[in-house]
Structure 1
Amino acid sequence: MEKFERKPVTDIGIDETLNKVDESTIKKAIDWVLRKEASARLKTFVETCMRCGMCTTSCHHYLGHEGDPTYAPAAKVKQTIWDMLNKNGNVSKDDIKKYARIAFSECNLCRRCVQFCPFGIDIAYLIALVRRICCLIGAVPQYIQDQALSHMQTTNMLWFRQDEWLDTVQWLEDELRAEIKNARIPLGKKNAEILYLAHGLEAKYMTGLLTNMAKIMNVAKVDWTMPDTDGWDYTNKAFYAQDQETLQKVVRTHYEIAFKLNVKRIVMGECGHAYRTGIYEGTRLIGWKENPIPYLHGVEFFYELLKSGRIKIREKIKEPVTLQDPCNIIRYRGLGEKLRYIVNSLCENFIEMTPNDDHNYCCSAGGGMIDAGPPWKMARIEGGKVKAEQIRDTGAKIVIAPCHTCHKGIEDLNDYYKLGVHVKFLTDMIAEQMEIP
């Protein structure tokens, strides 16, 4: 394997933390995670890997860096988890800095490599353990730390106060009534069929997306409500840091609001990682065997509305369209077929990427890479080169990205690689193309 060589990057969340900790603290964190928190999967995966290299070309970072073997999935494990185990946890601060760089900026936890491993080794799980160790030490990119702290204090990602949330929703309801007479965005309504949770950005910077979801709800005559308290934001940026304590607190808050309002189901918008925390990571950490209330991604919800005829498409989009498959709802949940039903309902000229569905490449922004902030932007832009090539090869003018992270990540790739495409959410497309009585 070639030498690990990277351009220097300064991130105070990692660098300043490591200036303050000693190596005994580092060993304590490693021992705790690998001996107390890690499951039998760690031992099984480490002892099963044959170093066969079948996972190598599955990784967009490897392909985007001209086949540098240090970016291969197995190499990332060898340079992190295996290194800790070989050194019995006695690692240096420089080692932790290297581990953090690999775990937060060179692996999106997308699990594409799992599709190619003959033994099904989950490298995303192993890299998540590295992140967890870095979290306990405090060596996490500063931008991710800030968002996780906001979740801890306010249960949303942007330090948005409860009164600001209520004012925003009331303002959006007034705006919506200009188009749909007597439209409502109900808050704190008991016994509704659906509790809808929003993305943090939709309350502050992307309010049009929340308005369009409310428009869909009103046209489809859905019996719905939103929280009138803290806990309305479905994002869970603590997942990126592997801050498991905050992660489960946020998920528990969502379910407790659903219990209090006695709703039948929880529906969230277009986000991959939050869906994963809501139905897998958070409930597992809380200790629940199953989700106490059905928890639906926007793709599942839109599929239901279109399939049942509650939403009717007025006119299909004629421009050539392609589709990004978000890792956390496709490889983790298998929603590819439902997603394609929606796209074909909306579009006349749908062109698949190659490869696609559960073998599609990650957007290179997921797993917290875009949330790591400006210091790490070029790491995801370079890793996203193969995604940019995929999009260009389709000749499409519109890229549908049913995930906030994919959406922003592909927008950045579009700007950098001059793809000349428009990136859209399903929510906006449905609101624009549906019949409004």
Structure 2
Amino acid sequence: MQPLQQNLALGITIISMPKDLFLPTELPWAELKGRDLEELLYWLFDSMGAKDLEWRIGGAGSGAADAGRDLEMSFYVSSPDGDLVRQRWWVEAKGRAGTVEPADVKHAVVNVASRHDIDVLVVATNSLFSNPTRDWVREWQSNNPRPRVKLWERTELESHCSKNPIAVVRLFTKALSSQGKLEVAAKKLWDYAAFTDVPTLAALWADRSSLEIDSRGLVALAASEIANGSVEERSWAVFVDEDIVLDALGDGLINFLYLLFRAHEAGVRADPLVRALSYLLLVATYRCGESVVSDLLERVWESVAEREYPAEIRRVVVQPILESLSSELRDVCTSDCARISTKPLVLSDREVRTYLQRLSIGSDHDAKTPERVLMFESFDEPCRIGLALDKQCHCPFGEQQDGDRDVRPTLELVRLVAMSRHPKRE
């Protein structure tokens, strides 16, 4: 199952990630031999989507028998008529201090040539292949089209690691650039429903001016911040451009069920995902206005090619997010209101005090049945945010919500609370 892509026709932008996701000089290439090189290759092929991946360690020590390959796996490629064709790959690791000579490669090639079920042989090294080695492989390949022999030396490994930084982060976190760490954060959330730790988030925030943050990166950052406690200290959605916030909100909405599926599959809590999207909804409404956001919530479902979202599916996605945001703002807006006396529903006292800091740059809740709390409304006091209330027209946060929330009125209230209680915009 893969996350869905939005259509550019609706103004959704996609930022291509730069290639410098890790720092090649930080990888200990000279020492990357034996088991270490094999482990890097294992995680690299895992990131590239290999199936039936097997690391043939064969036992302890460098002399363990591996039957002619260190790794074996399968890839499934599409044929012209649309069928998936299985390709079997063997991989031989050659960790060397100097260049890899022909004799080192000949043994691997001759060994696999006797097999008729292997399609590709990869010989990978942390150093370089000599020119005679390349010449020998080229000549052999001209007379033996199968299996296809690929020579991966350090430059190829650097390129593949840059495109698949998850392989690097498992072994050499220090080798990742800030952009690489951001890419890993996004991949962890979207592929594995995993959140990024606080030290990494803090390091990324310190280097935020150099980052290229796209919509999925923003969703991952917001969800990770909330999973680790709060988003007030590092409000990523206020730092990035408005169009990225809108893109992230749209991406999160159309992939909400996908993300919930990933979270359930991984056995992690889904609450940070809901609260991250409610945070993006808050910031988007505050920065862009309720008309723009309401229009986005209406049109985003049409942005996915060959996919329909019935009204019931849209409701299942949107209503928990609206409910989460409305409950949070209810706690904030009634906390110091002379007209309303009540207690918080979802936020702690500390969260109430710091909540609106998320509109400036700069605790896990277990799932529970919503409490019913007593609320007193003083008809003699005005509304702190300027709503025209009287004995017949009551505070909207005190009204019992039996059905679904209407999007536009809810967003109008969201923006009014945000603008009134946090009037200074960055």
State the TM-score bracket (shorter-chain normalisation): under 0.3
**TM-score normalised by the chain length of structure 1:** 0.21
By relative contact order (CA 8 Å, sep 6+), the higher-ranking structure is: 1
